[in-house]
Structure 1
Amino acid sequence: MQPSDIKEHMEVCGADGKTVGKVDRVEGNRIKLTKDSAPAGHKDHHHFIDLSLVSGVDGGKVTLSKNADQVSLQEA
């Protein structure tokens, strides 16, 4: 997987298949999620996921190596 494989508006899912958010873009070694896909109460800022958590990119979806509820979202 290359960071360039990750495209805008791709769905980001945990290993359990549950949606974590949607890609805004890749910044450095992190995926920046769209504000409108942020968890309730957090829609006023972006969240980031470290690229080290990505296990695959296929079919327009980014799959993570952890379940959605285990993913630590960094705030900015």
Structure 2
Amino acid sequence: MAEHDHSAIKEHMAVIGADGVHVGTVDHVDGERIKLTKTDSPQAEDGEGARHHYLPAGLVAVVEGDTVRLSATAANAVDLFEEAD
């Protein structure tokens, strides 16, 4: 399988699941991972703990305009989040 060209993915693009549900906002691309902004991060119940999350860049199906559309649904994508240290 060929590596994707992630150069079309830019800061502040919306990340949308295959089901059309908003997953997050691009902070930047870090190798083969997309770093999402903290403002879209799920927080702990006490409101603390917002942190950057990463998505595997291999989930990207297509980049259209200012939207990154994933091949996975939003719920599946959230299950694949990797938390930043």
TM-score (norm: length of structure 2): 0.83
**How far off is 1:40 after superposition?**
3.1
Which of structure 1's runs of 4+ aligned residues deviate more than 3 A? none
Gaps of at least 5 residues in structure 1 are: none
Percent of matched pairs sharing the same residue: 48
- What is the number of residues matched between the two proteins? 75
Larger radius of gyration: 2
Structure 1 length as normaliser, TM-score?
Answer: 0.92
Q: CA RMSD in A?
A: 1.1
Give the match's secondary structure for 2:7. helix
Q: Which structure has greater strand proportion?
A: 1
Which one of the candidate residues 57, 61, 81 is aligned to 1:73?
Answer: 81
Query: In the TM superposition, what are the counterparts of 1:2-21 in structure 2 within 5 Å?
Result: 2-21=5-24
Aligned runs of 1:57-68 on 2, under 5 Å? 57-68=63-74
